[in-house]
Amino acid sequence: MELDGILNDVSAYLEWELDEGRRTVSVSPDVVAELGDAAGKVETEMPEPKPKPQAPPTPAVSSSTPRTPAKPGDSLEAVAAEIAECTACELHEARTNTVPGQGCMHPDILFIGEAPGADEDAQGIPFVGRSGQLLTKMIEAMGYSRDTVFIANINKCRPPGNRAPSPAEMQVCIPYLKRQISLLEPKLIVALGATAINGLVDLPKGMGITKVRGSWLEFEGIPLMPTFHPAYMLRNPNMKRPVWEDLKNVLRRLGKPIPEMKKA
């Protein structure tokens, strides 16, 4: 990619982070050095870049990690009822509705985002705002509907100001998602955005979403495709194409036909 393209992508990404309420981003010296190389003006004060790993990204959750079995008598309704009463983290304080998830049992695909936003909090349904409308379009482009997949988030309550949930908030909420996964038994998981990916997979150090996107990982033995969050695609329409490539990989793995992407 040309330097202008890289800078445009970085600029769009930072704008998106700002919109999401984040005020700091971590940039490794390797990335800074790479950008410097591309511009032909590396600062000599920068630390020596470490050698890049040669192997492809390796999921920290190995394929032998057993799936958490569903407890006898458990149900999605029971999980949703517990979530509705949950006060285990401070996110319960400002919520209007809990957002447990939506879709069918035993789906081919389980889409997982990070947490509800304002529209989702108001309606109690995941991915119904602008990002959700884009996700719905992509699901339909794959030949599915919202009723033939399942859509959920790591956290079931909206973080104030649409900030990302903290690691502690994710840790305390993720058992609900694990129970849902045990009951749903999806064939595949699509993790949407960095927060969701980091909540599900313990990535090796230095492996961010831009490096693992499009590579198969695993969660409790279930194939997991990491890709960008629809909110990021809204800020950076150039990313729709790589995300569509990821979703085509999902369809290939499911043995489904690959439709052509319609122009939005």
For helices 76-85 and 167-184, what crossing angle results, to 10°? Answer: 160
Phi, psi of 153 (to 5 degrees): -130, 160
User: To the nearest whole angstrom, how small is the minimum distance from the Cβ of residue 83 to ligand SF4?
Assistant: 5
Question: Is residue 157 close enough to count as binding ligand SF4 by CB under 6 A?
Answer: yes
User: To the nearest whole angstrom, how small is the minimum distance from the Cβ of residue 117 to ligand SF4?
Assistant: 13
Nearest to 6 by CA among 47, 36, 26: 36
d(CA 163, CA 147): 28
Selected from 131, 153, 155, 162, the binder of ligand SF4 by CB under 6 A is 155
Question: Is residue 172 close enough to count as binding ligand SF4 by CB under 6 A?
Answer: yes
Question: Is residue 156 close enough to count as binding ligand SF4 by CB under 6 A?
Answer: yes
Selected from 7, 33, 86, 141, the binder of ligand SF4 by CB under 6 A is 86
Selected from 12, 91, 135, 251, the binder of ligand SF4 by CB under 6 A is 91
Contact stretch for ligand SF4 (CB under 6 A) within 35-43, 169-177, 203-211, 226-234: 169-177
Asked if residue 198 lies in contact with residue 166, where contact means CB atoms within 8 angstroms, the answer is no
- Residue closer to ligand SF4 by CB (options 98, 236) is 98
Site for ligand SF4 in 25-64 (CB under 6 A): none
d(CA 30, CA 37): 10
85-112 burial, b for 16+ CB within 10 Å, e for fewer?
A: ebeebebeeebebbbbbbbeeebbbbbb
Q: Can you give the binding site for ligand SF4, defined by CB under 6 A?
A: 83, 86-89, 91-92, 98, 155-157, 169, 172-173
